[in-house]
Amino acid sequence: MRSISLPVSKSIANRILMLQAMHGDSLLEITPAMPEDCVILHRSLLQLQSESQTQRLDLGNCGTAMRFLTAYCAQLAGCDVILDGVERMHHRPIGQLVDALRTCGAQIDYMDQSGFPPLHIHGRELISPLSPTMQHPGITLIDPVSTQFVSALLLIGMEVESNHDSPYITMTRELIRRYAHGQRWTVDSIERDWSAAAFWYEYVALHGGEVRLEGLSPHSLQGDSVAARLFRRLGVDTYDENTGVRIARTHKTNRWPCVMNFAQCPDLYPPLAITCQMLHKPLWALGTQSLIYKESNRLQSVRQKRDHHDHRMAMALLAADMVCEHPECISKSYPQFIEQLCP
């Protein structure tokens, strides 16, 4: 049985990095196995701490860094920074977050198309407005395009009310609570990544056998731990063990259509959709609105069976023994995936 060492949860690691920066604490150590998204955020935070002149931060295709740093830089008095990235980043909306920050007094200018990066930010002290639906200062964010808009505001200490909740927002609030109560993390103490684990579920669903995934817990902060339940419908069972989980294809799946809602777990769409295609199992996918704003338009990418420089599409294709045009993009979240897949 193969044993796989998964990367740390980049969702958790990136939130920890932001909390450390907000409180002036030392940042997490960056190791070779860390997702590239964490490396980009870590590097950017160090630059902001060490340089005072106007600077331009290249965030690549890291949407998390763009959203979190937009809020962080807006409240960082004296900061003068341009946040930019690859061409795809120029098509990933950020207007709702900018508007919310502007209600707090933020000075943020669009350098090209309104509502999209790149952004020019002049940091200043922010004041939380009085929300019309609250009895205390706070921001109301209705139907956010990305739940990271809410998390970005929470991480800089703003109270936020939204009609949209998600496991990612719950994760942010819980990490803030734990940080306030004195918990601190090292790289080794961070949960392993359930989003990355989904590609091994896909692999087992399509190829059979058993795989042990080290460092995973079914009782996780991560919303993508729902992968265990969703892949159960595709023949893969999960067994909780002391230091991880064991997954195995234990039964065949029928040809009945599979109905899945991805509103709370959009990153699971590529591996689940590709698995259903390969098993000739119809998939009725609900809650897919946000998928067009990811590293690629994932609805289109799955239909075309092309990765379009999207790390999760690339891994989903490779796990199914399909052609991947840009395997280098996988380093964004799982640098060791190809090496582990083809030892």
pLDDT at residue 130, rounded to an integer: 63
The 10s digit of each residue's pLDDT in 73-94 is: 999 999 999 999 999 999 999 9
- Residue 49, φ and ψ in degrees, nearest 5: -80, -25
Q: What is the pLDDT of residues 119-137, one digit of tens each?
A: 999 999 998 876 555 556 6
Helix (H, G, I), strand (E, B) or coil at 47: helix
Domains and CATH numbers, the chain: 9-189 (3.65.10.10), 194-341 (3.65.10.10)
Q: What is the pLDDT of residue 161?
A: 87
C-alpha span between 231 and 208 (Å, rounded) = 13
Strand pairing report for 80-84 and 2-5: unpaired
Mean pLDDT of the chain: 94
Percentages helix, strand, coil for the chain (3-state, rounded to 5) are 45, 15, 40
- What is the pTM assigned to this prediction? 0.93
Rg value, the chain, Cα? 20
Q: In sequence order, what DSSP letters do the residues of 72-88 get, joined into one string?
A: HHHTSTT-EEEEE--GG
Q: What count of other Cβ atoms lies within 10 Å of the Cβ of residue 247?
A: 27
